[in-house]
Amino acid sequence: MGAVWQHRIQDFAADSRTICSEPVATPDLDGDGVGDVFTSWLLLTPPYGWSMDHYHAALSGVDGHPIWEYRARQPWPYSYDRHQVYGRDLDLDGVVDLVTVGCEEILALSGRDGSVLWQQDIHAFDPFLPFGATWSRLAYPALFSTDPTDPGGLDLCISFQGSDSIGMAGPLQMAHLDARTGAAIGLADFPEDLEPWAPDWMDNYGKSVFTVLGDIDRDGLTEIARPVASPGTANPQSTDEHIIVCSQRTLDVSLYPSIGRSYTATLHLPGAPDMDFRLLVSDGFDRAGGLIVDGWPTHLADTPFLRHALAQPGASGHLDANGQGSVTLTIPNHLDLIGRTLWSRAVVLDPARPGKVWTLSTLGESRVQP
């Protein structure tokens, strides 16, 4: 194997010592029909140990020459762990842009010419910090996600952690920004549990591995994966783990519906505009897969209640141009349903392939009341 081309940072920043670099393949930025490369470097500048710059460049996929470069002083505290996210056109100029995240700041650069689109630091989230928090940092992962409250909008989500006055780290949260302007939207807690999938998806014995998968199920949202302790693991030193994949909730149902009354299920699937769907509801959860629809496991147990729900005419609906829709179902007036958990999931049909599935919603959970 031989090198096609190489890029030496010293050729462009001779006064610096390189700490690290992180190349990321991108679509074509300069219009030559060949994919290009984003690269990010941390540079020690004289006097070494007291000054650090961050240097970003878009390099030609053909010969490695810089399409554009950006260099600026790295704010204190220095961030040795920078990560990048790209793939969305933030300024709507037809070229994907770059967001680079450090410990305390976020920078959005134009993919076309490297100009700064916006810059934000972690103190923008100070108004959202819990009482007593005195320090915070941005961590991996960062990902783009459609804002379900703003059809056509775009969020940037970054893992966020704060600590109190004695240095005790708080739980991980997700920091939300408007990806087009950099404005801070707020902080959202990770769920403490994802029952029935896992007892506590943040409890994985000290590991902090997140993997950004992209939109793997065609729902228009970004999925992330993480190893967690398997349900029922009693030994804190056990290596019994499994992988969970999670995303934004796409199905909202009534948490406490009553027997004999109707309840509404609302969907938001930005990747499924103008598509038909059907809501499945069961009083049983099947970890092994449950009812299989066109090869997609629903994890709903095939019970008489499921067949009853399928027979209701109101179980079918249509998503609008933004992928939003709802249906209303009625809980049978049976006393033996009180206290039971109902699991629901929407099956979205592929309009181009009759009888085939486009995607599934997330799992809904309801507890039946009198």
pLDDT per position as a tens digit, 212-250: 787 889 998 888 887 776 665 555 555 566 777 878 889
pLDDT for 36 beyond 50: yes
C-alpha dihedral (92, 97, 103, 105), degrees to nearest 10: -40
Q: Which of 190, 218, 238 is the last residue of a domain?
A: 190
Residue 55 pLDDT class (50, 70, 90 cuts) = confident
What pLDDT score was predicted for residue 140? 67
User: Once rounded to an integer, what is the mean pLDDT over residues 120-134?
Assistant: 80
58 belongs to a structural domain:
no
pLDDT for 50 beyond 70: no
Q: How many CA atoms lie within 13 A of 211 on its CB side?
A: 9
Q: Which of 160, 190, 220 is the last residue of a domain?
A: 190
Report whether 222 contacts 143 (CB < 8 A): yes
Task: Provide the residue count of the chain.
Answer: 370
211 belongs to a structural domain:
no
* CATH code of the domain covering residue 284: 2.60.40.10
Report whether 270 contacts 322 (CB < 8 A): yes
48 belongs to a structural domain:
no
What values do phi and psi take at 348, rounded to 5? -100, 130
Bigger pLDDT: 369 vs 154: 369
What pLDDT score was predicted for residue 48? 52
Q: How far apart are CA 138 and CA 210, in angstroms?
A: 14
128 belongs to a structural domain:
yes
65 belongs to a structural domain:
no
* Domain boundaries, position 358: 251-367
Provide the number of structural domains found in the chain: 2
